[in-house]
């Protein structure tokens, strides 16, 4: 009777997505943890291998619900490399608008979401409301709020609607002023500081051992390893931005870096709106026949980008037929969301388990994909 088994998720409000962690506790200390993915739509890699190339566009955004556009981008990049498709100039800039807005939406949910497991419910209420303003922009651009199917092989599905640049700019002005409120509410909140400072520490050697990238690695190493910098895609090499880093990766530091990254995304978006071509095609012609029966040339490729949680990649193999032969997704949160939970969540206090998941940036479908 010394050891008690408890469940975090899939319906617990502190759980991120349809995912469960089976925890064995002694008192309030976790002594063993076992992540249990597979609570909703999973097995995306095999599903992709059984669908036509273009049909997968409706499936792949679901691999990470809070930042779905990253999958559209990496999938499109992989096909474009295999088929040697040249993306129109304007489409590169539009893609950056979508990706950076998605990054901000993700960071808002994570940054404000820390209020859930700490009892600061103003945080998620504010963050979800402000994220909804981004979804309004997505809806106007793509016709959908969450799953957009907008970034497609060859570019984007359609051009930006008239006047959307002004709306994005107005939102950026609002959000930049709003960030001071978030700083006061979260980063300067004594309760948040008490619950996150010097807690859930991710040492550099552990980050390297697990293969953690993104904020987890940058906050532990002090190195600005960001795919947008080290292997630029779209037109990230034509905009200026900084990559926030630190040398001590506790939960509080990771929250602070998310806060700083929102400002950098605002900075990127303003440059994109200024530099983006006003005219031109937004989608290359990829097939002379039925696009649904498109045969991508045989070959293999690895494409990767920087998402809000780190390096996100697809390894894709085509055998020249109407469906992908093999697809492997390198989910950015797999190392800390699977291996990290099993090895390093033990020793954490029970009431800090949800903070662990939030500040480590775990997106459940990336694990059992």
pLDDT at 293: 82
Q: Note the pLDDT tens digit of each residue in 297-312.
A: 999 999 999 999 999 9
Q: Is 288's pLDDT higher than 80?
A: no
User: Which CATH number does the domain housing residue 250 bear?
Assistant: 1.10.645.10
3-state SS, residue 60: helix
| Number of separate domains in the chain | 1
What average pLDDT does the segment 4-14 reach?
75
pLDDT at 367: 80
Q: Is 252's pLDDT higher than 90?
A: yes
Q: Note the pLDDT tens digit of each residue in 56-88.
A: 999 999 888 889 999 999 999 999 999 999 999
pLDDT at 15: 65
Q: Is 259's pLDDT higher than 80?
A: yes
pLDDT at 292: 78
Q: Is 1's pLDDT higher than 60?
A: no
Q: Note the pLDDT tens digit of each residue in 329-365.
A: 998 888 888 888 888 889 999 888 888 888 888 887 8
Mean pLDDT of the chain: 91
Contact (Cβ atoms closer than 8 angstroms) between residue 282 and residue 155: yes
Q: Is 291's pLDDT higher than 90?
A: no
pLDDT at 14: 60
Q: What percent of the chain has pLDDT over 90?
A: 70
Q: Is 38's pLDDT higher than 80?
A: no
Long-range contacts of 51-58 (CB under 8 A, 24+ apart): 51/323, 52/292, 52/293, 52/294, 52/322, 52/323, 53/79, 53/153, 53/294, 53/296, 53/322, 53/323, 53/324, 54/152, 54/153, 54/291, 54/292, 54/294, 55/292, 56/324, 57/149, 57/152, 58/147, 58/149
pLDDT at 64: 86
Range of the domain at 326: 4-366
pLDDT at 66: 86
What average pLDDT does the segment 100-122 reach?
91
Task: Please give the Cα distance from 285 to 74 (Å, whole number).
Answer: 19
pTM for this model (two decimals): 0.93
């Amino acid at each position: 009777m010394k050891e008690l088994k408890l469940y975090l998720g899939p319906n617990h409000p502190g759980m991120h997505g349809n995912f469960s962690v089976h925890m064995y506790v002694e008192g309030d200390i976790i002594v063993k943890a076992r992540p249990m993915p597979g609570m909703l739509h999973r097995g995306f890699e095999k599903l992709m291998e059984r669908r036509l190339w273009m049909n997968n566009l409706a499936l792949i955004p679901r691999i990470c619900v809070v930042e779905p556009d990253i999958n559209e981008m990496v999938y499109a990049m992989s096909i474009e490399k295999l088929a040697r498709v040249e993306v129109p100039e304007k489409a590169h800039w539009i893609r950056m608008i979508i990706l950076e807005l998605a990054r901000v939406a993700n960071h808002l949910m994570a940054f404000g979401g820390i209020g859930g497991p700490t009892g600061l419910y103003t945080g998620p209420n504010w963050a979800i409301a402000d994220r909804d303003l981004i979804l309004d922009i997505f809806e106007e651009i793509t016709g959908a709020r969450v799953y957009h199917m907008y970034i497609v092989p060859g570019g984007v599905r359609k051009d930006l609607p008239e006047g959307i640049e002004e709306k994005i700019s107005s939102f950026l002005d609002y959000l930049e002023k709003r960030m001071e409120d978030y700083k006061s509410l979260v980063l300067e909140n004594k309760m948040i500081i008490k619950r996150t400072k010097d807690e859930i520490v991710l040492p550099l050697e552990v980050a390297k051992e697990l293969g953690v990238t993104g904020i987890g690695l940058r906050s532990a190493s002090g190195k600005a390893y960001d795919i947008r910098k080290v292997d630029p895609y779209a037109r990230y090499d034509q905009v200026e931005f900084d990559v926030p880093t630190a040398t001590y990766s506790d939960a509080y530091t990771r929250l602070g870096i998310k806060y700083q990254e929102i400002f950098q995304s605002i900075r990127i978006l303003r440059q994109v709106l200024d530099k983006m071509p006003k005219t031109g095609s937004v989608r290359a012609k990829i097939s002379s026949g039925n696009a649904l029966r498109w045969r991508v040339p045989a070959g293999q490729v690895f494409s990767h980008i920087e998402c809000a949680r780190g390096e996100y990649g697809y390894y894709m193999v085509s055998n020249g037929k109407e469906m992908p032969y093999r697809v492997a997704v390198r989910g950015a949160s797999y190392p800390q969301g699977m291996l990290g939970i099993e090895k390093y969540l033990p020793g954490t206090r029970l009431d800090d388990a949800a903070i662990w998941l939030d500040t480590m940036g775990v997106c459940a479908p990336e694990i059992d994909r």
